[in-house]
Amino acid sequence: MPVNQRIWTLEDGYKELNTIRLNFEYDLENLIETRPEVIDDNLMLIGRQVITSNQGRIDLLGINLEGSLIIIELKRDKTPRDVIAQTLDYASWIVDLSSDDISKLYQKYKGNDPNASLSKDYKTKFNKELEEEAINSSHQLIIVASEMDSSTERITNYLNRYSIPVNILFFSIFEFEGKRLLSRTWFIDPQETIENTTPPSEKAPWNEEFYCSFGHDDNRSWNDAVKYGFVSAGFGQWYTKTLKMLSIGDRIWVNIPHTGYVGVGTVSTECLIAKNQKFELFENKTIFELNTEGKYLADFKDDVEKSEYIVLVKWEKTVSLEQAVSEIGMFGNQNTICRPTSQKWLFSMKILKSRWNIQ
């Protein structure tokens, strides 16, 4: 159904706000470049008007925390068929870009500044290392428009049905008391298109076991996790919200980025903010009262947004960092928790269960 955004005030007789015609050439492209969070809080732009091999130009190119490349194409005055076909053409070009190619695109975007570094700026933005194997492992295609017709709706639904992650983002500007208000609406829930980033040929039924990415660094320690029985994440909802996917009794397989798989266990508590998660086997103390190697964002323990969040785990098998299992082709993901539906996950399970003698 074509989207038509309208807004009313709740006072003054439910007055409808006036809409202002968007200048796609200037207003939105500049706005998105200046404030990429209007698309997604976890978006970092790496190119604008990127010239492709067939002399096309990608309006905006970004990368998200998972390493996915995000093509953002403004509809302007193009027909639905033209803009979707053009976006797909751009995706067919970026799919073959290497991590080195992408780093060069970013340097060009930064005016060939010799100090520009994709990996360094990515870590500054996301407080996380950019894993080379994650770069360009998947794509998301976003078409920015102010309205949609039935043809665009039909094509977009069809592509998503067959796992082509295309979405449409609608912006409208309204005028209220001399101020301009920006409204944003997604055609499809962004999470649904993210789930479509795995090609059909690589998909497999979920085996009802969870993947966990554990960040072993100055803030948290795998030795602590083994000793006290937990996994954790913090410093923002992107890192912590997926921990809440876990339920008591779920089995998780823990991978440390750049190191390998180090453990498997069963969830024994719900996810709680660190200051409220009590370790029953250790005198009901919190993580901040235990003798730990990690700091667990102690400075933010009262900050609901940035605090560490903890799930207690009963370990079935753990190994040291030196014994971590890492093989070419094994599954990896930057989400703290995910439900993998890929052949790589089944391949990883086969290796780990055999190596650790787990049924």
Domains and CATH numbers, the chain: 18-197 (3.40.1350.10), 210-354 (3.10.590)
pLDDT score at 77: 66
Is the pTM for the entire model greater than 0.85? no
Alpha helices, H only, the chain:
29-34, 80-94, 99-109, 118-126, 150-161, 190-195, 222-228, 237-240, 343-355
Average pLDDT over residues 1-14: 69
Asked if residue 232 has pLDDT above 60, the reply is: yes
Asked if residue 196 has pLDDT above 70, the reply is: no
pLDDT tens per residue across span 88-137: 899 889 888 888 889 999 999 998 888 888 888 888 888 777 877 678 77
pLDDT tens per residue across span 331-351: 887 789 989 888 889 999 999
pLDDT score at 262: 96
Q: Residue 278: which of 312, 234, 329 has the closest Cα?
A: 312
Alpha helices, H only, 110-251:
118-126, 150-161, 190-195, 222-228, 237-240
